[in-house]
Structure 1
Amino acid sequence: MNTVFQPPSPDAAVYVISVAAELTGLHPQTLRAYERMGLIQPGRTGGGGRRYSHRDIERLRDIADLTRAGIGIEGVRRIMDLELQVDALRARNEELLAELQALRSGLAARAAVQPTNKLPVLHQAVGQSLVVWRRGS
């Protein structure tokens, strides 16, 4: 029986704290402190042990890079929050672009079948004027 190795998903909590500390170059106490500050939320085992995902490891590396660059914890928190917002906006933008493309495709298909301009046609007889009123503020 051949089994194919499937790597865990980026969100699978698989690394114990000692491995996460080694992979990030941070001390386990630093990881615990970042958790207390709300910068990271590792998964937990049934017994309460911390388990870090690949995404957690990347986030910890980003935090370490920012703090080494002289950015304080509150600055790091704000940067991380903004990055999450940017990621969410990018995802939403992709959804909207896909929806727009689908709408355009649907409109193009309907335009081939029937004309889309349903606006009334204005006719002017010779000698008549057309007046457009605009309300003043």
Structure 2
Amino acid sequence: MKSILFVCTVLVANGIAANVNRQDKVINQILHKVPKINEYFTECIIQTKISEDDTENGTLLLEEEDRIANKLTHCLYRKTGILGNDGKLNVDAAKSILTLIGVEQDEVNKIVNKCVSTAGIEEPDMAYAAFRCFEDDILH
């Protein structure tokens, strides 16, 4: 379950934008299988003090969207265990997610090795940088 929840950050960060694109729809389909995702998302919205209008209407400036996506990603990674208490990414969870969504095993290792290199970045920026890396490799 924790590994599926990792994918939720992709939807959360992209869900802030006003227009829903094809990638978001694919991610949304994956997320509908995730138990507790709405609970975690709601908790993180409250914790990061983001208004529902901002997330639903895309009323934020681009730099504000990045700041909020960064905070949401960090919060969700922490709640789901994708980001450990030590601030490091859970490599096993990342590999499980990629496998779950149909990425070939040899690609799973390449993607995870590439994206884990964000570990030098400080929290919470590291979680968002890793999210962007996974998103780029998963959806492109």
Which structure ranks higher in relative contact order (CA pairs < 8 Å, sequence separation ≥ 6)? 2
Q: Quick check: which has more Rg, 1 or 2?
A: 1
Give the structure-2-normalised TM-score: 0.25
